[in-house]
Amino acid sequence: MINTKYPSRRMRRLRSQPWIRDIIEENNVQINDLIWPVFVIDGENKCESIDSMPDVMRYPVDILIKEVKQARALGINAIALFPITSPDKKTDDGRESYNPDNLICRAIKAIKDAVPDIGIITDVALDPYTTHGHDGLIENGVVLNDPTVELLCKQALVQAKAGADIIAPSDMMDGRIGAIRSALDQNGYQDVMILSYAAKYASSFYGPFRDAVQSSGCLSGDKKTYQMNPANSDEALHEVALDLNEGADMVMIKPAMPYLDIITRVKNEFKVPTFAYQVSGEYAMIRAACDNGWLEHDATLMESMIAFKRAGADGVLTYFARDIAKILHK
């Protein structure tokens, strides 16, 4: 038993010099931990900025390829793609989501061609494609579960066919992981991985994302009938257990910083690859404070990352991925 009595036990001894602090560090952040979420738009040669997310761009495919090449050169292993669907392609039923020639499929093919050694994660959910902005089909104001799951399977299949490495359902319908797993298996995509947004909370921190994908203007109501209540924690374990049983290879907790306790519980309970999504609102908050000179940029980013690692996350989706990679290269 170590001596626990002051003054013979002095905790500050181990903090006295940088070198000893470095040796005894319990957790560290690596470039390997980073996944970069990116927004794709139609068109060529012209990016669009997003007011609430400074320096995050909507990229047309031609520019995106160059950006992804640079991200790969920085050491980033995977990207998560999110499409911005032009308003004329949005419908009540979101049918553009499973058009094999839609923007996301074209982006997957182009990136696979140009940067074959980066992992491509694609989002499965209807919200970028629906006029009402919900992640599922709606009837009499109710978001329908099973009919939505059928469409999600079709969406997953066109993405897998286009070359997606990891399918990431972010819709929170019940039973979708099992249905997507069987659809993939039956069509020869048994090697395509599934990263389930297993514990996705109905969070205010998604605001800037909804601006980015232009779904906020049309969103009628909230997403509380499918995304989780921020007050709940045991429920997250049930969600994760179900998704793992249905065939998820990895699970995600979202948002990240306000839900560190959930990351820890999930990692401790299931010991599977667990990801944290530092979402758009977290990005906006940190950037706003840094841009005002209220927080120190590099140190704040690294502290947020180490918090995710300490909580138990194996990987982190973050709009800061390239910034963090650059800091780690310094």
Active site residues: 200, 254
Q: Please give the size of the binding site for ligand PBG, defined by CB under 6 A.
A: 12
Task: Write out the binding residues for ligand PBG, residues 134-163 only, by CB under 6 A.
Answer: 135
- The phi-psi region of residue 214 (left if phi > 0; otherwise alpha if psi is between -120 and 50; otherwise beta) is left
CB nearer to ligand PBG: pick between 206 and 259: 206
Closer Cβ to ligand PBG, 189 or 320, answer by number: 320
Task: Assess 127 for contact with ligand PBG (CB under 6 A).
Answer: yes
* Length of the chain in terms of residues written: 330
Estimate the crossing angle of helix 103-114 against helix 61-74, to 10 degrees: 40
* Window 298-327: residues binding ligand PBG (CB under 6 A): none
Under DSSP, is residue 39 helix (H, G, I), strand (E, B) or coil?
strand
Among 33, 96, 123, 243, binds ligand PBG (CB under 6 A): 123
Q: Which stretch binds ligand PBG (CB under 6 A): 4-12, 16-24, 123-131, 307-315?
A: 123-131
296: three-class secondary structure by DSSP: coil
DSSP result, 214-272: T-TTT--S-STTTSBPTT-SHHHHHHHHHHHHHT-SEEEEESSGGGHHHHHHHHHHH-S
| Least distance in angstroms from the C-beta of 135 to ligand PBG | 5
Minimum Å gap between C-beta 261 and ligand PBG is 20
CB closer to ligand PBG out of 105 and 173? 173
For 5, the token pair is 């009595």
Is the preceding omega at residue 7 within 30 degrees of 0, hence cis? yes
**What residues numbered 213-232 form the site for ligand PBG, per CB under 6 A?**
223
Residues 270-299 within binding reach of ligand PBG (CB under 6 A): 279-280
Min. distance of Cβ 102 from ligand PBG in angstroms? Answer: 16
Q: Spell out the residues 6+ positions from residue 176 whose beta carbon is closer than 8 angstroms to its own.
A: 124, 148, 149, 152, 153, 169
Question: Dihedral through CA 85, CA 86, CA 90, CA 94, nearest 10?
Answer: -20
Applying CB under 6 A, which part among 107-115, 119-127, 186-194, 231-239 lies near ligand PBG? 119-127
Q: Is 207 exposed, middle or buried (0-12, 13-18, 19+ CB in 10 A)?
A: middle
Phi, psi of 84 (to 5 degrees): -110, 110
Q: Which is nearer to ligand PBG, 254 or 267 (CB)?
A: 254
Choice between 62 and 167, CB closer to ligand PBG: 167
206 in contact with ligand PBG (CB under 6 A): yes
The residues of the shown chain that bind ligand PBG, judged by CB under 6 A, are 123, 125, 127, 135, 170-171, 206, 209-210, 223, 279-280
